[in-house]
Amino acid sequence: MSDCDHKSCGSTEKAWLPYYYQGRARGLKPHPFCAECGLVKNLSSDRPREIGFFLNVLAELGKHYKIAAVQTRLMVLEMERQAMDDGYGMDRMQQEELFVDIAVRMLNVPERALRELL
């Protein structure tokens, strides 16, 4: 969870940054950013997923690997700590990279098994 509620800056103060559409850079586009914490708003076409999506992936993974309930709980805490549910700043690709990174570290499962489920 992010500590910030995110207030967009006004329309005059946008940051010119690369814009991605379907995973490819499509030139620069003005991005609004949060006036409070400075986080740039994600304008990717790939909408971020809910934490629930990743819980389903964990459940699926649990059919093939031994995952204790406490490990799942720790995963959720870590995903919240990393603000993975913060749709303002995170796109789907960033979420997936983070999820794989956390899961490999905390659950000791092969990266390939995770990628197949995303």
- 17 binds Zn ion per the rule CB under 5 A: no
CB of 59 to Zn ion, least distance (A): 32
CA distance 71 to 18: 37
C-alpha 107/C-alpha 105 separation (Å) is: 6
Q: Which residue has the tokens 């995170």?
A: 90
Q: Is 116 in the site for Zn ion (CB under 5 A)?
A: no
Asked if 36 is part of the footprint of Zn ion (rule: CB under 5 A), the reply reads yes
Among 33, 34, 57, 84, which residue sits at the site for Zn ion (rule: CB under 5 A)?
34
Name the segment binding Zn ion (CB under 5 A); options: 1-9, 16-24, 69-77, 100-108.
Answer: 1-9
Contact (CB, 8 A) for 9 and 34: yes
Place of tokens 């971020």: 48
Binding site for Zn ion (CB under 5 A): 4, 6, 34, 36-37, 39
